[in-house]
Structure 1
C-alpha cells in the first residue's frame, strides 16, 4: 500500500512542479519512472482512486469548480464578503496571473489528468477484463472532464471566434513520469481542438464503462457530462440525445423534497457527486462549499452572500425561495445565504438529473421536437406542486425553461457557463469579455519559455 501511495504522490508532485522555473524541474531523487512501479490490478485502481481524490479537493469539485463559476457571474446574484484575496479578485474580475486559486485549479486539474494518463499507459497490466474496461473508462472520463473544466475557465468561450480558433489549454494525453517527459514544452491547443479531445474521451468512456459503478463514474455519468459539453457548443441535437440516454436509463428520478439531494448522500436524483465524510472532505475552515456558503452558529465563514434581489426572482410560493435560502445566524447575521451547502461533511452533487431534464426541455424547445418527452413534461419533473409548490408551466416557451434553469441550478457552479452559452452579460461584462477568462498561471508561462501563451489582457 505504501508503494501505491508513493506512485500517486509522485505523479502528483511531478505535475505540481510543471510550474517551476523549468518545466517540471524534477530533482533526480524524484524522477523514478512510475510505470515501472505499477505491477497489477490494485496498483492501477489505486491511481484511479487517486484521481477521484484529486478531483475532490478544494481546488476542483470540492470547492472551486462549484463556486468560482458563480463568483465570475456574481452581479445581481451573489457577492464575496470574505478575506481570501484570490476569490475577491475573481468576483471583481481583477484576477492576476499569480492568483492562488487560478494557479491551484490549473495545477490540480492537470494532476488528475496525469493520473488518468498513467492508468491508460498501464491498462494492460490489469488482468481482470471487466475491471480493465471500467478503469479504462474512468481514466477517459477523468481526463475528459478535467480538460473540459480547464477550457471553460482558461479560454475565451465556445463561439467567441470563427472556427473556435482562440487559444484553449494544453492537451495532455501522455503521462509525465520521467524527467525527460517533465521537460517537454507543449503549446496551447485551440478551443475547437480541446473540445474535440473532450468529446472523444467521453465517448470512449461510454463505450467501456458499466451501467452502474457504485459511487464512481459510470456510463450515464459520462453521458451527462457529454450533454453538458454539447450544450456549451450549442449543439442542441446531440445535447438532447445525450440527456435522453441518462433519463431513459431509469436510474435517476427527482426527489419529492428539494432539500433531499443536498441533505442526504447518493440519492436517486444525483448522477454523480463527490463523496465526503468527517474524515475525508474538502475542508471546514479554509476550503469546502459549506465553509464559504454557510452562515450558521459554528459552521461556515459566511463569505458568499446571496443577493436578495435574485431570491425575489423566484415565483411567489416557490418552496425553493425559502428552502434553499435563509437569513444567516453565524458570522454575518441578517444577510441571505444558500442552504444547499450547510455541512462540511455532506456529499457534493456535481450533476443532477434535474439538469438533464432542463437540457432536454431546452433542446426540444429550440429544435421544435419532442424526443423523449415534450418540454412541458420534462419541466414538470422539476416544477410541480409536490416538489416546489407550483403548478407546472403549460406550453412553456424558451424563456420559461431558461428561468427554471437559473432557479433550479443556482449556486451549483453553472451560472457563468450558461451566461456564456446564451451570450448574456454579467453586469458590465459581456459574455466574451477577456475579464471573465482566467489567466494562465504566470509561472507556467515562464517555465515554458513563453511556449504557453498568456491570455489577452494579462
Structure 2
C-alpha cells in the first residue's frame, strides 16, 4: 500500500495543471492514472498525507516560504539603514542571491520550484476532493475534505502573495493574481489540456477565503499534528490581516485564542527546540531521516552556522539585532555569533550573526504560533478601538512580559509598539515582505507595490501555455 500511495504522489506531482511540458521523468510503473490508483478511503487519506509531505519540502514550508519573503524584504544596498538591511544573503546559490539583490529573472530557479511544488500540492488536494465518495464514514470524509480545502486555500494564498502585486496595489485588486485550480488533473493528458489564465488578485483571495471558511466547518477541534479547525481560523486571521480586514482578522485570531487549545511557552526558545509545543498551531514535522534537506534545502542549512550544521548563507544584520533591548531574552536565545568562514563587514552592520530559531536539520518548523494570534488581535483591536477577547495591553503582555522576555509589559501600547513587537517576535519566520506590503512600507528605495519585489511567473509556464498564463511586469 505504501508503494501505491508513493506512486500517486508522483503522478499528481507531475500533473501540473498549468504546464504542458513533462515535469518528472518517472518509470512506467510509477505513471499510474489517479483514476485507477485511488480506490479506497485509505488511498484518499494517504493522498492527504502526501500533500502534507509536499508542503514540507524545501520548495514550500521546508525552506522557501520562510526564506524568500525574508530575502525579498531585506535591503541589499551597502550603507542601508540598519533595520532595513534585516538579513544578508552571502551564499553562492544564484536563485536566492537574485531574490536578495532584487535581480530575479524569468527563469529564477526558486520561483520555478515554489510555483511547481505549490500546484502539485493543490492538485493533490483537488484529487482528494474529487474522490471523497470513496470515504463512507461521515466524520472521516468531513475531516479529509476540510484538510484538502485548507491545503488548497493555503497554497493559493502563498502563491498570490509571492507571484502577484499585493492586495491594495489597485483600487479593486484587478491586477493579475495566479491561476485558480479547483479541479484535479488525473493524468498528464488532462494536465496538458487544463491551462487557464491568471485570475485577479481579488478573485484569488475570494477563493482562498471560501476554502478556508469551509474548512473551519469540516475540520475537527483536534487532529493530531494535522490541520484542525483552529489552524483554519489562524490562517483566516492571516489572510484577513493581509487584506486590511481588521474586524475579521481580529475575530479569527480571537477564535483561536478562545479555543483554549494553545498557550505560550515560558521559554522563547522552546517552540523551536521542541516538537509540537503548546504554542504551536501548525508546524512541519521533521526528523533525522525525513526533513527538507541538509545541503541544498532546509532552514538550518541556510540559517545555521554551527560545527557540522549549516552553510551560514543568511547573516543577520547587526542593526536589526540591536533593535532588541539588551535585556530581551529573545536577543540572547534567538541570535548567536556563528562559525561561518565568510568575512564580516562591520562597516555595513554585518557580523557573523545568525538566527537561533533554525539550528537543527531535524527540528520541526513552526508555521503558525499563538504569539502571532495575540499580535494580530492586539493590532486589530487597537486599529478599531475595540477590546474583543482582551485589551491590546493584555494581549501584548502575553508576548512581552518579565517571565517570557525579561522585559516589563508595555502600559497603554500604541500601534507602533505592537508593530515593533511583531517584527521582533516573528523575525525570520517568513513574514518580512508580507508585512512590508500590507503596512505600505518599502525595501530600500523600492516601494511596497514595486514590480521588482514580485516573483516572476516561471518562464516554462508562460511558454508552455503560449501566453495563456501571462508574465509579471519587468520580466
TM range (shorter): over 0.9
Q: Which residue of 1 aligns with 2:362?
A: 345
Offset of residue 25 of structure 1? 12
User: Does structure 2 retain, via aligned residues, the 8 Å contact 1:314–1:407?
Assistant: yes
Q: Deviations over 1:283-307 (max 9, x none)?
A: 1111100000000111100000000
Q: Are 1:441 and 2:458 an aligned pair?
A: yes
Q: Can you give the 5+ residue segments of structure 1 that lack an aligned partner in the other structure? A: none
User: Does structure 1 retain, via aligned residues, the 8 Å contact 2:393–2:410?
Assistant: yes
Q: What pairs up with 1:45-444 in 2 under 5 angstroms?
A: 45-75=45-75, 76-178=85-187, 179-332=189-342, 335-444=352-461
SS at match of 1:387: coil
Offset of residue 23 of structure 1? 10
Q: Are 1:11 and 2:21 an aligned pair?
A: no
Mapped to 1, the partners of 2:38 and 2:454 lie a distance apart of: 38
User: Does structure 1 retain, via aligned residues, the 8 Å contact 2:21–2:192?
Assistant: no
Q: Deviations over 1:150-207 (max 9, x none)?
A: 0000000000001000000000000011313432220000000000000000011101
Q: Say if 1:451 and 1:416 are closer, same or farther in 2 by CA, change over 3 A.
A: same
Q: Say if 1:30 and 1:274 are closer, same or farther in 2 by CA, change over 3 A.
A: closer
Mapped to 2, the partners of 1:188 and 1:25 lie a distance apart of: 27
User: Does structure 1 retain, via aligned residues, the 8 Å contact 2:115–2:159?
Assistant: yes
Q: Say if 1:317 and 1:163 are closer, same or farther in 2 by CA, change over 3 A.
A: same
Offset of residue 14 of structure 1? 1.7
SS at match of 1:385: coil
SS at match of 1:388: coil
Offset of residue 26 of structure 1? 11
Mapped to 2, the partners of 1:37 and 1:110 lie a distance apart of: 20
Q: TM-score, normalised by structure 2?
A: 0.93
More divergent stretch after superposition (327-336 vs 172-181): 327-336
SS at match of 2:367: strand
User: Does structure 1 retain, via aligned residues, the 8 Å contact 2:283–2:368?
Assistant: yes
For the aligned residue pairs, the C-alpha RMSD in angstroms reads 1.8
SS at match of 1:358: helix
Q: Can you give the 5+ residue segments of structure 2 that lack an aligned partner in the other structure? A: 76-84, 344-350
User: How many residues of Structure 1 are paired with residues of Structure 2 in the alignment?
Assistant: 457
Q: Say if 1:437 and 1:361 are closer, same or farther in 2 by CA, change over 3 A.
A: same
Offset of residue 249 of structure 1? 0.4
Mapped to 1, the partners of 2:329 and 2:6 lie a distance apart of: 46
Mapped to 1, the partners of 2:100 and 2:367 lie a distance apart of: 21
More divergent stretch after superposition (291-300 vs 181-190): 181-190
Q: Say if 1:180 and 1:262 are closer, same or farther in 2 by CA, change over 3 A.
A: closer
SS at match of 1:386: coil
SS at match of 1:337: strand
Q: Say if 1:181 and 1:290 are closer, same or farther in 2 by CA, change over 3 A.
A: closer
Mapped to 1, the partners of 2:341 and 2:293 lie a distance apart of: 18
User: Does structure 2 retain, via aligned residues, the 8 Å contact 1:273–1:350?
Assistant: yes
Offset of residue 315 of structure 1? 2.1
SS at match of 2:361: coil
Q: TM-score, normalised by structure 1?
A: 0.97
Mapped to 2, the partners of 1:199 and 1:239 lie a distance apart of: 12
Q: Say if 1:151 and 1:360 are closer, same or farther in 2 by CA, change over 3 A.
A: same
Which consecutive segments of 4 or more residues in structure 1 shift more than 6 A?
Answer: 22-31
